[in-house]
Each structure stands twice: as C-alpha cells, then as structure tokens.
Structure 1
Amino acid sequence: MGILSSILSRREKAEELLGECKCRKRKYRCDSDEENEEEDLLNTPRRKKLKSTSKYIYQTLFLNGENSDIKICALDQEWNLHKIYLCQSGYFASMFSGSWKESSMNKIELKIPDNNIDVEALQVAFGSLYRDDVLIKPGRVIAILAAACMLQLDGLIQQCAETMKETIGSKTVCSYHTAAGTYGLENVKKKCLEWLLNNLLTHQNVDLFKELRLYLMKQLIQSPDLFVMQVEMDIYTALKKWVFLKLVPSWSGCIKRLLSDADDWFSKRRKDSEDIAPFLETEEGVQFLPVFRHLRLQYIINDLASAKIIERDLILPPGWLSCAYKQQWFTMLRTEQEDELGPQELDKEEFEISSMRCGRKLTKDGDYCWRWTGFNFGFDLIVTYSNHCIIFKRNTLSRPCGGSVSLQPQRNIAFRLRLASFDSSGKVIRSRTTGYQILTLEKDEEQVILTLDSRLLIFPLYICCNFQYTSLRRRTENEG
C-alpha cells in the first residue's frame, strides 16, 4: 500500500504540473490573441458618414439663408442668397461687376421673360450653386433648362442635356426637340431627330402623330434616313393618318383603327364637298402641302393597287401625279430602248433625294425571303435572310415574276442597307449598315450583302433599304 500510495501521489503531482503547464500555454496564447486583436483594432479604419460640406452649405446657406447678403425676388417668391455663390452664374457675374446699379443693391427683382421658367425651376437653379449634384426629373427638365440658360449655368445646362438624351421616348421626343432648338442644344436636337427617323414608321403611335408639328414632319418625310416599313406607299398612308389626327384631334382609339377611320373621314369629305378639288388645294388642306411634296411618287405609282388608292383619295394635286407618270414613262422607255444597265456611278446627294425607300421587320431568327412590290424596270430583286446573312438575288429565269424581267446580261443597282434593333423606349441597341454601294449582278446571280454576328443579333430586327435601279439622269425638258 505504501508503494502504491507513493506512485499515485507522484502521478497526481505530475498531472497537476502538466495542467499548470497547459494552463500557462493557453494563457499565453490568449494574451497573445488579445494583443493581436487590440493591434488590429487600432489599425483598422472605421467608417462613419459625416454630414458633407456641400450638404451643410446647401442646408445652412441656401435653404436657411443664413448670412445672406442679397435677396432675389422673382415670380412672387424670395430667395435669401449670397453674392459669392451667385457669381458662379454668368448672368449674376456680369450684373455684379462694373458700373451696373445692381452691383450695389441688396435686393434685386428678376424679370422672367421665358414662360417655361417657374418657381420650382428657379429653386433648382439657385440651389445648384450651393451643392455638388442636382437630381433632375425628366418631367421637369425643360423648365430647369430654361432657368439654367437664363442664368447662364453651364454645368446645369449640360446636366439637363444629358438627362434629355437619356430619356428620349414617344412622350418626350417632340417637346425635347422643340426645347433643344430654343435653347441651342444641337446634340439633343440631333438625337431627337434620329429617334423620330427610326421610330415614326416602325413603332407608330397615335399620341406621337398628334404631337408632331408640320415643320418636323416635313423634315422627317424628306430624309433618306427615314426607317420605312414596307414601301413608299406606307409613308403616304402614315401622312394620311397624321393629317386626320391634326384635323380631328379629339379622335381616340387604337392604332389599328386609325387608317380605316381616316379613310372614312376623307371619303365623307369628298362626298360632302361641293367641288372636287384635291384635298391639298382646299383651305384646310393647303397647310399640309409642303409635307406631301416630299413623297417620292415614282415609287408609289409603280404599283397598281397603290396607284388606285392615290387616285381614289383625291388628296394630291393632279399635276403632281401627271408629272410622276410622265417621268416614269420616259424612264421605262430609256430602260427598254437604250439598253439601260443601271447606275454606273453613285452620286450620294442625288441618291439620297431620289432613291426608293423600303423596309422589313423580322420578328424572330429564321429563314426569310421576299421582294418589295412595284415595277422596277425589269430588275426583279429577291432578298433573303438566312444563316445570319442578307443576300440579294437578281431573279431572271429561276422564279416566276408578275412583271417583265430584263434579260440584259448584267444589271447594276445602287443601294444602302441598314439593320437595327430597338429597346422598349425606341433607342437603337444594335445597328449595322452596308454603306452606299453599287452592285453588278448577272442573270440569276446572288451575292451576300451583309454577314451578321449571331451573338450580337437581337430580334425583332428591322431592315431598311434605299435603292436606285436606273441611272440618275436629270430629266430633259421634254420629260417635264
């Protein structure tokens, strides 16, 4: 028992010593960890959002008007402001310099000559002098732009321009275009015009038709960049809808009903009229004459169904149609009797004025094949979209054709083809173009015009083409 007791005693002492050792090690590690954590804590930056100087200045000086040294009065409202901040404005910088009487005044009455400017717009404009950024709502941008232009606030003007460019759509494009012209924002004006050229016919909108003014519609109709769906006749049809909405602005309904109601209105007008004068020569119609003048009638009367509608509607002056028929007759005679091969060289300016405009919508990816209606002087052009390629084929013998077909060994065609995809607001998100080209095709020959990257294709895909089938010869005196 004594030996056993001695062994147990020694073991207990050993375990006790071991426990103390472990405890000391744990304590050492714990102390070490705490020191490391404390070191990390001291060296880790802490973020706390403080009230910025800009916000403090805006709140204290602008909103509260503390230490104001000048009072600005306009539109029955007063602002307690500071000359040192107002001098950021070119308008006030000039006013407070030199020998102007306002330079020594502590209260100034502002005359507001622009009806677009209201109290809220002035509040934003004055406030922009006291802060780094300004939030501009699209619905308020024109009023703020007007105030910024009057006060010569270049930074705010630029911000308004960017807001406008980002928010162009069917509800804003006309007002933006007008404002951009008024306040000298040429880039915004150009963007608005581009949007209208792309969307007027591809995404027809009743409210947009109602809002479009004559001068702007004229500019769109005469442009070679108008995105047309399907042929020139569809431009005429769109104008007919537009005129109807201008004269009957109370009309409401969906875009699908618009053409039939417009046709009924013009038909009733013809029946009720005592004389048989064309609509554009009447008192209510003469204002629209400059717009219709830019229709390319030679590409409307080259289709029988379209020619019949034009004659029935009695909108256009007979002299316009007589001239177009005569011009087309001489062109056909030249093509048949002078071995017309088509354009030999491309005069871009003349091409843009006189080329045929047509288009097509591809709703989804797949294979498509079509031709645009109308008599094209023996050049039966078949267009194919397949395997992400656009192909032109001169059809001579391989496929039946409703009209006469030229048997010339070669024929030339001048063209420009454009492709575009749009987002929900009508902005272009993908686009491609062939540029201006002259293509020579033999009988039944086909050529790939454009190859597309399938990874970049977005449907629906809109195709717009300008074509010239015959030489661009200026009309002789005998041709009218």
Structure 2
Amino acid sequence: MGAVKSIFSFRGNRPAGDGEAAEAQAATAQEEQGGEAGEASGVGPSQVGRKRKASPEGHPDKVPPKKMAQTKSRAIFESLFLRGENSDIRIRAFEEEWCLHRVYLCRSGYFASMFSGAWLETNMDVVEMQMPDKNIDCESFYETLGYLYSNNIAIPPNRVIAFLATASMLQLDELILQCEEIMKVSVNVGTVCSFYYSAENYGLVDIRYICHQWFLDNLMIRQNSELLRGVGLDLMKELIASSDLLVIGVEIDVYTTLKKWMFLHLEPTWSGSQEALLAAADLYFDEYKTNSDGTPFLETDLGRAFGPVFQQLRFAYIICDLPSARIIEQDAVIPATWLTPIYKEQWLMLIQAEQSRELGPTEVYMSEIRGNSMRCGGQLDADEPCSWSWSGFNFAWDLVVSYTNRCIVFRRSALNKSCGLSVSLLWQRRVVFRLRVISFDGTGNAVLRKDTGYQVLCLRRHQELEVINLEGQELSFPMYVACNFLYISEDSDPRQYGQSSRSPRK
C-alpha cells in the first residue's frame, strides 16, 4: 500500500501553467498522433517525435531507453495527474474534485463516449459523476484515473473487486484482464463468495467457473459460518444438485450442511464456533417445530423459499440408512409428502434386488446418472493402508474400498462384518461407478485430481479390481477419495429416474 499512500498525498491537484507542464501538455498533443507507436516501442509520451539528446561528454545518452521512458512517464504523471497542471476538465466525485485532461481520459471508452457526440457533458468544463455501482469507492476511482496517465497500477487482492467495478464502468479492458488474473490466483475460503458473484455481475466467465469448481470441491470439507452465509439460494441449489459435489461421508451429511446453511440465513447475526453451529441449528428448528404444531419447516412461510434447494437432496440414499432416516423424521424439516413416494420406490427395488437374478446395468447412460447417483467419500490422512465401506448402497452391497501401495482397490467381501446384513449377495454384480482422488493446497485449490470417469463395474464374490494407481504421483495429505455409485435395475421403470431407458449415451 506504500504506492497508494504516495499517490494520495497529491490528491488535491491544482492547475498550473508553466515549466514542465507546458512540455507535458505538448507531449499529450503529440501523443494523440503518434502515442500508440511510442508506447509500443517502449518510449515515453514526451519522447515521441524527438531526437535523442547528447550527454555532456558529447556522446549519445547512455540511459537505457526503458528507464528513460519510465522517467518521462513519471514526470508526466506527477505534473499532469498529481498536480493537475494545464488541466482542461475537472471531474467531481465522492465529494472530491480532480483537475484532469481530456486527452488522457479518452483512453477510457466511458470518457471517450462522454466527450464525443451529443452528450450533455461533451463541452462541460466540470463533470459531476454519480457512481452507478456500489463497489466503486473513492480510492479505486482515483487510482484508476491515475492508470489512464501512467498505464501502471498496483491492485491488492483484497481490493480487486473495487478496481474491477471501476474498470468495468470506465470500459478499460486491459485493467479488467489484470483484475481477472489477480482473482484467479486469489480464490480461497475468504474470497470465493465475493469473487463468484462479482464474476456473474461483470461477465467473467473463467472466474465464475473457477469459483464454482472451488465450491464443489470445498463446500463439504472447508465450510465455516461466513462461507455458508455467503452462498445464496440459487448457487446452493446448483451445488447440491451436482454429481460433482465432493461429499466426504454420505448423503445425510449434505442434508446436515443444508440445515446449518438455512439456519445461518435465517439468523444472520448468530456467532459461535463450528462445533456449536449444528447444535444451534437443531435447537432452532426443534423450537419452531414445537411452536408450529409439527408442520414441516419447509412448508411454513419462513421455510418455503428454501424448499427448491432441499429438493435437490438424494433422499433415496438417506432413508436407506436407519439412523439417517430417523434424523430426517425427528427434525420435521422435510415434508412427509416428499418422502412417501421414495419409500415406496425403495421398497420395490429391495424386493426386486432380493427376488430377481439380474446382475445390474450393462451400459452407462449419463442421462440416468446425473442427479441419481449415490455420492460418498472418505479422507486419507496419511500414506498408509486403510479400507472402508459405505452402508446403504444398494441395500448394503458388499463393496469394500481399500487404499494400499498407492492404489485404490474395490473388493467384494461377503465375509466383511460391516456387510453382514447384505440383502442380496449374488455371485456376480454390476454397478455404475466413478471415483475421484483429490488433494488441495492450503487455499482449497486442487494440486492433484484423478478421475476414472463413469464406468460399469462387474465383480464376482471376493474379487477385487484396481481402480486408480497413484504410483509416481506427488501426493499430499489429507487426500480425498470421492465416489459416485448407481445401480439401475434392468427391469426398473425408467420413469422412476425421469429418463428414457433408451436415452442416447453422451
């Protein structure tokens, strides 16, 4: 911020009319004719069209051209912008006034349009400016005006939104690109919300994508109160609906996250630790249930706005686990009318899995997978062997996931105690799966990302399959293993999944 302070010490510039200013003003006139060529060659505006001066020894000046250009540019900046010498226009904003020059202001598309044509301000000597964007402040506006004189500006990452807003209003494409580059390397838990919504407002497609991917990767593992408060309804709906959401745990954990998120939007002034957040949310909804005679919260006037977000939950993978089903029932947040058809579908699938001899899907239909796959995951804290299984998948299908010798392995194991309640232990089973392995740096940006894509897995009893090999990869821990599973019965009614069984593959 040192450069910023040195500039602000000259903010109250005043017009003058002699000495260095005359030379600078002549340079601006020359620049209108040949300034672009001068800048392209690295020569400062006051040098365009001039002969090189000799040094006192009679030899050509040995000052490097780049340094000479910087010296001249600095002299122009100080005399014309900081001191306002030979000003021909005054700009008023934020209760301040700056003496400036049309020839430099017209480098901005905004001012170029203002000073040409039939606008009211075209021939005015004093222009009063009202800022249409609340993100623009006095400092960013003043610094950006200085950029028009120097083509140089220092933008701290924590101030980039203000400069982006100012550059967008003044139609400075190069400065917008500079802001975009700063944002790309500054996405973290403290900036991602403001960056995402700013990218939407100012049309930064790449930044929006980067932030959206950050949310998908980190929402479930790096959440805090400020982050959850910053995510709006439409964005949360989009994230919860995505099969790319990195779920560490199972689907009930997504529901728990939504419950905390909704509580923070209803009680924006709440403060406390992350450990206390869930308890506070449970207490809030329990009191509301008592006071509303048991009406499901999402059917009340207060909760109805959150309904479309909660509808994106994959309830089929919540109610198939008894403790999770009891949480849903006790909270009384979800209307029973949402769950009754899902219980029926799950019961029919249970009977079919037990009484039919079908093995599972033979092809991958992306239209069936999107929005329907089970999302689950685990965390590896060190490069050491470990294994786990997810209960509830296809009625406790006997699938064990192992990490050993830098490999992720799927294994069917009917002897595993955690799979002892499996309903259907056919000798051979098929299932659609996708597995991702991801590691992050301290800001939540991926440093390792491996993805199998969607495949059909076919295993016999006690058979195992190496899914991902990480040998030779530079691993950092914790490392996250995320899975998507989908078992679609060949005899199932395709309308259950909202898609045709003959949908073309993508």
Name the TM-score, length of structure 2 as normaliser.
0.81
Amino acid at match of 2:413: N
Stretch of structure 1 that moved more, 147-156 or 207-216: 207-216
Alignment equivalent of 2:235, drawn from 216, 231, 245: 216
Alignment equivalent of 1:388, drawn from 398, 403, 406: 406
User: Unpaired runs of 5+ in structure 2?
Assistant: 1-58, 499-506
How much has 1:454 moved relative to structure 2?
4.7
Q: Secondary structure at the match of 1:218?
A: helix
Residues 1:440 and 2:433 aligned together: no
Q: Deviations over 1:110-133 (max 9, x none)?
A: 232222222112112211112233
Stretch of structure 1 that moved more, 320-329 or 203-212: 203-212
Q: Deviations over 1:252-283 (max 9, x none)?
A: 2221222222222222222333x221111112
Question: Structure 2 matches for 1:297-376, cutoff 5 A?
Answer: 297-376=315-394
Residues 1:178 and 2:191 aligned together: no
How much has 1:378 moved relative to structure 2?
5.6
Q: Taking structure 1 as reference, are residues 65 and 189 closer, same or farther at Cα in structure 2, changes over 3 Å only?
A: same
Residues 1:424 and 2:442 aligned together: yes
Stretch of structure 1 that moved more, 122-131 or 443-452: 122-131
Q: CA separation in 2, counterparts of 1:46 and 1:453?
A: 55
How much has 1:375 moved relative to structure 2?
4.5
How much has 1:94 moved relative to structure 2?
2.0
Q: Secondary structure at the match of 2:238?
A: helix
Residues 1:470 and 2:498 aligned together: no
Report the counterpart of residue 89 of structure 1 in structure 2.
108
Q: Deviations over 1:29-78 (max 9, x none)?
A: xxxxxxxxxxxxx9xx9989665333223222211112222222223222
Q: Deviations over 1:291-326 (max 9, x none)?
A: 100000000011111111111111100011101111
How much has 1:411 moved relative to structure 2?
1.3
Q: CA separation in 2, counterparts of 1:415 and 1:88?
A: 55
Q: Taking structure 1 as reference, are residues 244 and 102 closer, same or farther at Cα in structure 2, changes over 3 Å only?
A: closer
How much has 1:138 moved relative to structure 2?
2.3
Amino acid at match of 1:447: L
**8 Å contact kept, 1:224–1:357:** yes
Q: Secondary structure at the match of 2:279?
A: helix
Alignment equivalent of 2:180, drawn from 161, 166, 179: 161
**8 Å contact kept, 1:198–1:227:** yes
Q: Deviations over 1:406-433 (max 9, x none)?
A: 3433211111111111111111122111
Q: CA separation in 1, counterparts of 2:233 and 2:390?
A: 29
Q: Secondary structure at the match of 1:345?
A: coil
Amino acid at match of 1:446: E
Report the counterpart of residue 219 of structure 2 in structure 1.
200
Q: CA separation in 1, counterparts of 2:274 and 2:82?
A: 49
Q: Taking structure 1 as reference, are residues 444 and 172 closer, same or farther at Cα in structure 2, changes over 3 Å only?
A: same
How much has 1:385 moved relative to structure 2?
0.3
User: Unpaired runs of 5+ in structure 1?
Assistant: 1-41
Report the counterpart of residue 6 of structure 2 in structure 1.
none
Identity %: 48
Q: CA separation in 2, counterparts of 1:413 and 1:328?
A: 17
Q: Secondary structure at the match of 1:78?
A: strand
Q: CA separation in 2, counterparts of 1:375 and 1:350?
A: 17
Q: Secondary structure at the match of 1:413?
A: strand
**8 Å contact kept, 2:240–2:309:** yes
Q: CA separation in 1, counterparts of 2:89 and 2:336?
A: 68
Amino acid at match of 1:441: L
Q: CA separation in 1, counterparts of 2:377 and 2:75?
A: 57
How much has 1:400 moved relative to structure 2?
6.2
Q: CA separation in 1, counterparts of 2:442 and 2:309?
A: 29
Amino acid at match of 1:267: D
Q: Taking structure 1 as reference, are residues 88 and 433 closer, same or farther at Cα in structure 2, changes over 3 Å only?
A: same
How much has 1:229 moved relative to structure 2?
1.4
Report the counterpart of residue 123 of structure 2 in structure 1.
104
Structure label with greater radius of gyration: 1
Q: CA separation in 2, counterparts of 1:369 and 1:294?
A: 30
Report the counterpart of residue 94 of structure 2 in structure 1.
75
Q: CA separation in 1, counterparts of 2:394 and 2:280?
A: 32
Q: Secondary structure at the match of 1:52?
A: helix
Question: Structure 2 matches for 1:273-288, cutoff 5 A?
Answer: 273=292, 275-288=293-306
Q: Secondary structure at the match of 2:370?
A: helix
Q: CA separation in 2, counterparts of 1:308 and 1:204?
A: 25
Q: Deviations over 1:372-421 (max 9, x none)?
A: 12142462110000000000112235666232253433211111111111
**8 Å contact kept, 2:189–2:222:** no
Q: Secondary structure at the match of 1:382?
A: strand
Q: Secondary structure at the match of 1:369?
A: strand
Q: Secondary structure at the match of 1:266?
A: helix
Alignment equivalent of 2:75, drawn from 32, 47, 56: 56
The aligned length equals 434
Report the counterpart of residue 28 of structure 1 in structure 2.
none
